[in-house]
Amino acid sequence: MTEGPLVAVLDYGIGNLRSAQKALQRVGADARLTSDHALIADAAGIVLPGVGAFGRCVEALEVSGLTETALETASDAAAGGRPFLGICVGMQLLFEESAESPATKGLGVMAGRVERLSGDVKCPQMQWNRLDVLKPGELLAGLPEEAWMYFVHGYAAPVGPDTVATCVYGSPLCAAVRRGNLWGVQFHPEKSGTTGLTLLENFVSTLVGVR
Amino acid sequence: MKTVRVIPCLDVDNGRVVKGVNFVDLRDAGDPVELARRYDLEGADELIFLDITASSDSRQTTVDMVSRTAEEVFIPFTVGGGIRSVDDARAILRAGADKVSVNTAAVEHPKLISELAAEFGEQCVVVAVDARRSTDVDSGYEVFTHGGRRATGIDAVAWVARATGLGAGEILLTSMDRDGTRDGFDTPMLLAVGEAINVPLIASGGVGSLDHLIDGAVAGRADAVLAASIFHFGEHTIGEAKDRLEAGGVAVRPARC
């Protein structure tokens, strides 16, 4: 097997990180679950997964000593540096704060507050939903015209200038954001079948030649 | 937009699928991983593995199966059966499952639900409820445990309200009256239980035709429909199920996308 680009999947002791790692490996990355600063520094790209409550993820990141690293690498990506992908709560962590855990602060690389889903819908959204792609960019290029992804979340980031895809659940929600080489997706590409794998393959493709 | 999920359920005993799986083009119909891949390719939205292994010393077999599945299947899957503690759940989730389902253990120790939710998040915790019609409880639906063999005297509607209050992220409701009959879901029970909760409800027990799936989603207002035999015996593909649901006015993720 040829060695793909090194992807550091930040391991801060929460949830099922294995599936993100396995999906990235499937699309050719040398994906490692790690909290090792040297390895993270060597990686061509960074993935920040996240499940559970916002506050608990913030806390776990802190306990693992990864808050500064996550903030620095995400900020660097936003400024055009090494690509960084936040998944689910990992995307929400990029924002300033969340209604789910008002006492804790997010990384604040993206402006705004994550809010609870509203409208005449069940919360959480736990289902597949169709993306409305606003700006495909490298990450969302080559997806099927009807791209369906798997969502599990009770809160969502605000739709704003960095939003590159939405989905409708009660109202249009922010499904994906992008600034520079910083991406965040509310859905789980690692659990969205071949469509999700295509997105991850796109992410890995941006890493070739990074290092 | 709400889309209804179609979920095939695989009963697994000691690492092998049981309950007659009969696909023509499977090399090994008893291998859960091969069957899971097949359903993924057909467009299943999720999978549920129900581990019916009797002996507790073969937990490792289940963990290995989960691990192999996670290598090959990139849609969400839940594992239930025999999970009695946070440590049991952790082994399954670490191996790559997305959710765990608890049934008897949750009825016996409801605190297990809140412990699991605190540790892994509510989205990981499915509470499976086996219920029968009964005049012994207020709602008329009574919870049974131990694979549906033991009456508890607990009202199913009250139980799901309590379970979701403790942190259940989803309810899997099986009608023991209908399970295996192919007579269709118990839709009044789905409605009664669905009204008591604000988390997704998976309908289970009794599917014998594709129209039953529509009944579960429309008359029963379920968020997901589970079936086993209509898929395992090769009677219907997931694609056919989704086409029928869509024709019946139920929004689904198309099978091919």
Domain harbouring A128, CATH code: 3.40.50.880
Q: Catalytic annotation on B11?
A: yes
pLDDT confidence band for A75 (50 / 70 / 90): very high
Q: Does A210 reside within a domain?
A: no
Look at residue B20 in the predicted model and tell me its pLDDT: 59
Q: Does A181 reside within a domain?
A: yes
CB proximity A26 to B under 8 Å: yes
What sections of A27-112 are H helices per DSSP? 37-42, 54-63, 67-78, 89-92
Give strand pairing partners of A34.
A10
pLDDT at A191 over 80: yes
Bridge pairing between strands B170-175 and B150-155: unpaired
Residue B69's nearest CA partner among B55, B79, B83 is B79
Q: pTM for the full model? A: 0.94
Q: Which of A79-88, B56-65, B147-156, B201-210 has the lowest mean pLDDT?
A: B56-65
Residue numbers of the domain that contains A189:
6-205
SS3 per-residue string spanning B7-73:
EEEEEEECCEEECCCCCCCCCCCCCHHHHHHHHHHHCCCCEEEEECCCCHHHHHHHHHHHHHHHHHC
The percent of chain B in helix, strand and coil, each rounded to the nearest 5, is 40, 25, 40
Give the sheet arrangement for strand A155-156, strand by strand.
A97-98, A113-116, A155-156
Q: Does A42 reside within a domain?
A: yes
Q: Does A211 reside within a domain?
A: no
Q: Does A101 reside within a domain?
A: yes
Q: Does A57 reside within a domain?
A: yes
pLDDT at B256 over 80: no
| B185-200: burial string, b at 16+ Cβ within 10 Å, e else | bbbebbebbbebbebb
Render pLDDT for A78-117 as a digit per residue (tens, 0 to 9): 999 999 999 999 999 999 999 999 999 999 999 999 999 9
Who among B70, B200, B253 is closest to A122 (CB)? B200
3-state secondary structure of A125: strand
Task: Give the H or E element holding residue B141.
Answer: strand B141-145
pLDDT > 70: percent of chain B: 95
Average pLDDT of chain B?
A: 92
Render pLDDT for B90-143 as a digit per residue (tens, 0 to 9): 999 989 999 999 999 999 999 999 999 988 888 899 999 999 999 999 999 999
Decide if A50 contacts A19 (C-beta within 8 A): no
3-state secondary structure of A206: helix
Render pLDDT for A151-185 as a digit per residue (tens, 0 to 9): 999 999 999 999 999 999 999 999 999 999 999 99
Mutation site, A126, A131, A146, A201, interface B, largest B CB count within 10 A = A126
**Would you call A16 and B97 a contact, using CB atoms and an 8 Å cutoff?**
yes
pLDDT at B19 over 60: yes
Give strand pairing partners of B126.
B101, B170
CA distance A153 to A151: 6
How many domains does chain A fold into?
A: 1
CB proximity B120 to A under 8 Å: yes
Residue B104's nearest CA partner among B57, B70, B147 is B147
Q: Does A188 reside within a domain?
A: yes
CA distance A28 to B198: 40
Per the listing, tokens 């791209």 go with A147
* A53 vs B contacts (CB less than 8 Å): 121
ipTM over 0.90: yes
Per the listing, tokens 């590159």 go with A164
